[in-house]
Structure 1
Amino acid sequence: MPTATAHPSSSRQAAGAALDGALRDYLAHLSVERGLSANTVAAYRRDLARYVAFVDAAGRVRLDSVTEADVTAFVEAVRQGSDGGRPLSPSSTARALAAVRGWHRFAQAEGLARDDPSAEVRAPTQLRRLPHALSVDDVAALLDAAGTGDGPLPLRDRALLELLYATGARISEIVGLDVDGVADAAVVRLLGKGSKERVVPVGSFARDALQAYLVRARPALAAAGRGTAALFLNTRGARMSRQTAWAALQSAAARAGLTEHVSPHTLRHSFATHLLSGGADVRVVQELLGHASVTTTQIYTMVTPDALREVYAAAHPRAR
Structure 2
Amino acid sequence: MLDLLDSIDTHTPLGRRNKAMLELMYASGLRCSEVVELQISQIDFSRQLLFIHGKGGKDRYVPFHDYASDLLEDYIESDRQDIMMKSQQEHDYVFVNKFGKPLTNRGVEDIVNRIVRDYDPTKKIHPHTIRHSFATHLLEQGIDIRVVQELLGHSNLSTTQVYTHITKQHLKEVYDHSHPRNQQNH
Above 0.5 in TM-score?
Answer: yes
1:157 paired to 2:18: yes
Deviation at 1:210, TM superposition (A): 0.1
Deviation per residue, 1:51-105 (Å, 9 max, x gap): xxxxxxxxxxxxxxxxxxxxxxxxxxxxxxxxxxxxxxxxxxxxxxxxxxxxxxx
Shift of the alpha carbon at 1:272?
0.4
Amino acid at match of 2:97: N
The 5 A counterparts of 1:146-295 are 146-150=8-12, 152-184=13-45, 186-223=48-85, 224-257=87-120, 259-295=122-158
3-state secondary structure, aligned to 1:229: coil
Comparing both chains, which one has the higher relative contact order based on Cα–Cα distances under 8 Å and sequence gaps of 6 or more?
2
CA contact (8 A) 2:8 2:15 kept: yes
1:225–1:238: 8 Å Cα contact kept in structure 2? no
User: How far apart in 2 are the matches of 1:269 and 1:257?
Assistant: 19
d(CA) in 1 for partners of 2:133, 2:156: 19
Structure number with larger C-alpha Rg? 1
CA contact (8 A) 2:38 2:94 kept: yes
Cα 1:187/1:309, change in 2 over 3 Å: closer
Structure 1 pair 309–273 and aligned structure 2 pair: CA distance change class (3 A):
closer
SS in 2 for 1:279: coil
Distance 1:142 1:309, change over 3 A: closer
For structure 1, the residue ranges without an aligned partner over 5 or more in a row are 1-138
Q: Report SS of the residue matched to 1:217.
A: helix
Range 235-244 or range 141-150, more displaced: 141-150
Contact 2:45/2:69 (8 A) holds in 1: no
The one-letter amino acid paired with 1:273 is T
* RMSD of aligned Cα (Å): 1.8
1:226–1:313 distance in 2 versus 1, CA, 3 Å: closer
**Contact 2:27 2:65 (8 Å CA) reproduced:** yes
> What is the CA-CA distance between 1:162 and the residue it aligns to?
0.6
Q: Counterpart of 1:253 in 2: which secondary structure?
A: helix
- Change in CA separation of 1:221 and 1:293 when aligned onto 2, cut-off 3 Å: same
Secondary structure in 1 matching 2:52 = strand
- The alpha-carbon deviation at position 226 of structure 1 amounts to 2.9
State the alpha-carbon separation in 1 of the partners of residues 42 and 59 from structure 2: 11
- Write the distance in 1 (CA, Å) between the matches of 2:173 and 2:143: 23
Q: How many positions carry a matched residue from both structures?
A: 180
Q: Report deviation, 1:271.
A: 0.1
Q: Distance in 1 between matches of 2:121 and 2:140?
A: 22
- After superposition, the C-alpha distances for 1:251-278 in whole angstroms (9 at most, x for unaligned) are 1112222622000100000000000111
Asked whether the equivalents of residues 146 and 161 of structure 1 are also in contact (C-alpha less than 8 Å), the reply is: no
Q: Structure 1 vs Structure 2: percent identity of aligned residues?
A: 35
User: CA shift at 1:299, angstroms?
Assistant: 2.4
Judge conservation of contact 1:187–1:202 (CA < 8 Å) in 2. yes
d(CA) in 1 for partners of 2:122, 2:67:
25
Q: Which 4+ runs in 1 deviate beyond 3 A?
A: none
Residues 188, 200 of structure 1: 8 Å contact kept: yes
Instruction: Indicate conservation of the 8 Å contact 1:145/1:253, yes or no.
Output: no
Whole-Å Cα distance in 2 between the matches of residues 268 and 149 of structure 1? 25
Structure 2 residues without counterparts, runs of 5 or longer: none
**TM-score, normalising length: structure 2:** 0.89
TM-score, length-scaled by structure 1: 0.53
* Alignment match, 2:179: 315
Q: Is the 8 A contact 1:146 1:154 kept in 2?
A: yes
Amino acid paired to 1:167: S
Q: What secondary structure, in the 3-state scheme, does the structure 1 residue paired with 2:60 have?
A: strand
Deviation at 1:193, TM superposition (A): 1.1
> Which letter maps to 1:257?
D
